[in-house]
Structure 1
Amino acid sequence: MNYCRKTLLLIIGLLLCVSPYSAHAQWYETQGHARLDKNTVEIARTKAMENALKKALLIAGASVSSVQQVINGLLTQDQLNIRATGSVNSIELVDETYNGDLLTVTIRADIFPQERKCFAVNFKKSLLITKSNIMHRQQANIGKIYSIDKAVPQQLSKQLSEHSAYTTHSSILNNKTQFSRLNNSLANDKIAELSKTLAHSSNSQYILFSEIHDISFEQEATNNWQFWQQGIYPRNFVMNFYLYNGINGELMWQNEYQSSAPWEFTKRLTIDPFSIKFWQSKYGTMISSLLEKVVKNIDENIMCEPSRGNIIQLTGNQITFDLGRQHGVKIGDEFTVLQRHSFSSNDGKNYTGFNASPYKVKVTQLTRNTAVAQTPDGDLFGNIQVDDLVVRY
């Protein structure tokens, strides 16, 4: 029995323990991806299969979290925690392709269906990463790491590119937004407007803000006896992330991440937070580990959210919207058209609402970032305008 089959049997065995047998199983076919740069083919294949299996389970209505630890090329730990009432009967490897260092597998999983479906998991959501804000700038004096407010979001961008299965992203890191000032004054309505403005200008569905709250040094050195020779002190790192829906300005998720690690550089040495030296240090490695958790949390919070796109052109019975191949859209996909409308509450606050129209459209043309779709029956649109939405649930 080969390595891959052993691991799949382990996964299936765990899944079969979740619920009693049901006679009404259903096949789901999904794709998974993994990179070969740091993995053997066997390990990459297993990771890709696990990624595909997670998608299949989510489509079937399960909620999955997975932790893998690979040491010396051997899978030493594989924990799948399933919160669902269904299970997997069998898995088949349908296809396996290589594109550079990217391995893609297609599997078919026989899953006992759930009431809740998550079809949106096959569509990537567009995310805009903004420049962070150092809340106590004087804490950056040692090392002169003032540009860490750009370096950390840039590192997060790299990790999203490598590890996120559910996002496509862009970033604006040269200019700081007004988020921290508005957040400090609890101006939630203005943060909502800021999120919608940034989303509209960048064609993004979600906006990620962040604040670096603590990069101070702890009072005690890691080694008091050697301190006079080395000056190695633990340095804190506390960062908050805020994910906003750019369509309606609502806060989707927020979390704080904190840890500390030895600062291995001398007190007067200037360190570039963009440098390899920084990211290969114990402090930089610690931040990278935290960012891996951020990527996972972002994926978990948006993977099953509806995929929404803005209509950017309208002609007759044909529309163009800002979702394309990079978002997972395919020829033949159907979307529902939503009409955007704004309203004000009694206290004068503005809100964005949506009315479901009777129109459904089917994708006929694709580019990387856009899609052209038309009504299947040829009906002309009535009351649909540019900046209205299409949605796939």
Structure 2
Amino acid sequence: MYKFITTLALTICLLGSFTASSQWYETQGHARTNDISVELARTKAMENALKKALLVSGASVSSVQQVVNGLLTQDQISIRSSGSVNSIELVDEIHSDNLITVTIRADIFPQEKKCFAVNFKKSLLITRSHLLQREQANIGEIYRIDKAAMRKLAAQLNQQSTFTKSSSILNNKTEFSRLNNSLASDEISLLTRSLSDSTDSQYIMFSEISNISFDKQATNSWSFWQQGIYPRNFGITFYLYNGVNGELLWQQHYQNSAPWTFTKRIKVDVDGNAFWQSEYGVMVENILDEVIKDIDENIMCEPSRGKIIQVEGNKIMINIGRDHGLKIGDEFSLLHLTNFTSNSGKAYAGYNVSPYKVKVTKLSRQTATASTPDGRLFGNIQVEDLAVRY
């Protein structure tokens, strides 16, 4: 009998060595049961959990689904040339509404690298999306889908992700879409760093909704066409930027369609339950679930950076704390901000690695105080420099 658990977030913890050359990892994964069987949802949740364990352990896999299904009938399966999964054990399982969460324990061999940064949450700012073709929102008057979808994404991130601590700015749009259309990469970098500074966020998320049109022609898969119910598309592109240097870290487009079951003349509340429980709303929510998985995969092993907000003697204060997963005794390296100009006259920002390392001695929810273990005073370290855990 499975031991049921109450947490829905994905967590990863190192349990200890199984042998001298293998390692046990316990992970949680989730999947929705909207339109699939419980058995299929359970398999998808196991895929999600195993993928995270593989990423953290340093192994890699081309098809996690093949691994999960293979391990149901085999004692061992190779993961490319970098390692193998000796066994998977399903430890816990919980069902909550349309979400299934499983806990697995995997014996992964060998572990070539360890993702230390996975222990910390990265702060992510979600900005309001931009509806590229506003006239497509006329039917249903769903003009506020740009705001509602990002509000839903932020809520799901805080519920499901272990690797991000998200906040959002949704009341006003940014200049990102205009700058992106003009290919103004330098201005986007400035916008990203400005938002990062003002919100204490390590990553900034922009997005553009490119397609909410109706399909013009019926297909065999839409048997309800005769009933006056039409497929409606949802296409969206996400852009994830590093707030420290303004660089684009990840970009991905998502596209799907589902029946629009509302009448043409009704105004649909995109923040209401009727919309999100409709077939179209469920489809959008499933896309957002995929986005969360991709965000986690791209952020989880990135260095955890805290900006130095105070320097005093051999102590510093940084703008990440207990809410980001920090603990007393955690060790950080220090990076000193430096600027240089290229031969073409273009200015760049960079960092010099400082010889100083600090350990966390005091914590609050949003900040941490750290000091040099030997009491040495800092040299050129100052406010706006970084404390980094790789």
Bin the TM-score by the shorter chain. Answer: 0.7 to 0.9
1:210-260 CA-partner distances (Å, limit 9, x unpaired): 0000111111257999768x5311111110000101111111110110011
Q: Provide the secondary structure at the position in 2 that maps to 1:62.
A: coil
Identity %: 59
Any idea what SS the aligned residue of 1:87 has? Answer: strand
Work out the CA distance in 2 between the residues paired with 1:169 and 1:62. 28
CA distance in 2, matches of 1:92, 1:259: 34
Partner of 1:377: 374
1:177 aligns with 2:174: yes
Q: Is the 8 A contact 1:34 1:44 kept in 2?
A: no
Aligned counterpart in structure 2 of residue 299 of structure 1, from 276, 296, 306: 296
| Matched-pair contact (CA < 8 Å) for 2:31–2:45 | no
Q: Does the 8 Å CA contact 2:148/2:270 hold for their aligned counterparts? A: yes
Partner in structure 2 of residue 211 of structure 1: 208
Alignment correspondent of 2:21: 25
How far off its partner does 1:370 sit? Answer: 1.3
Q: What is the CA distance between 1:193 and its match in structure 2?
A: 0.8
Closer/same/farther in 2, CA of residues 362 and 56 from structure 1, 3 Å limit: farther
Equivalences, count: 358
Of 293, 299, 310, the residue aligned with 2:307 is 310
Say whether residues 1:361 and 2:375 are aligned partners.
no
Determine the C-alpha separation between the residues in 1 that align with 2:80 and 2:301. Answer: 15
- Tell me, in whole angstroms, the C-alpha distance in 1 between the residues paired with 2:223 and 2:173: 42
Name the CA shift for 1:293/1:225 in 2 (closer, same or farther; >3 Å). closer
Q: What does residue 161 of structure 1 align with?
A: 158
Structure 1: 5+ residue stretches without partners: 5-22, 69-74
Please give the alpha-carbon distance, in whole angstroms, between the structure 2 residues aligned to 1:104 and 1:326: 24
1:16-165 alignment runs, 5 A limit: 25-27=21-23, 32-33=27-28, 57-63=54-60, 66=64, 82-83=79-80, 85-88=82-85, 109=107, 111-114=109-112, 116-165=113-162
Q: Per the alignment, do residues 46 and 275 of structure 1 end up closer, same or farther by CA in structure 2, a change over 3 Å counting? A: same
Q: 1:266 to 1:48 in 2, by over 3 A?
A: closer
Aligned-pair CA distance for 1:151: 0.6
Q: Deviations over 1:241-298 (max 9, x none)?
A: 0010111111111011001111111111000111111111111111111111111111
Residue of structure 2 in register with 1:196 after alignment? 193
Q: 1:49 to 1:263 in 2, by over 3 A?
A: closer
Aligned partner letter, 2:291: V
CA distance in 2, matches of 1:255, 1:86: 28
SS at match of 1:262: strand
- Distance in 2 between residues matched to 1:81 and 1:208, nearest whole Å: 36
Instruction: Provide the rounded CA distance (Å) in 2 between the counterparts of 1:62 and 1:391.
Output: 24
CA distance in 2, matches of 1:292, 1:31: 21
Which whole-Å CA distance do the structure 1 matches of 2:108 and 2:291 have between them? 31
Question: Which stretches in structure 2 are left out of the alignment for 5+ residues?
Answer: 4-18, 34-39, 67-71
Cα deviation, residue 341, structure 1: 1.7
What is the root-mean-square deviation in Å for CA atoms of aligned residues?
3.8
SS of equivalent to 2:309:
strand
Distance 2:375 2:102 in 1: 37
Q: In 2 relative to 1, CA 44–34 (structure 1 residues): closer, same or farther, beyond 3 Å? A: farther
- CA separation in 1, counterparts of 2:86 and 2:176? 48
Q: TM-score, normalising length from structure 1?
A: 0.79
**Candidates 223, 234, 237, aligned match of 1:237:** 234
Q: What is the CA distance between 1:82 and its match in structure 2?
A: 4.1
Aligned with residue 320 of structure 2, among 300, 320, 323: 323
The CA deviation at 1:50 is 8.0
Check whether the contact 1:237–1:258 (CA below 8 A) recurs between aligned residues. yes
How far apart are 1:168 and its partner, in Å?
A: 1.0
Equivalent positions of 1:3-18 (< 5 A) are none
User: 1:165, 1:81 → 2: CA distance?
Assistant: 28
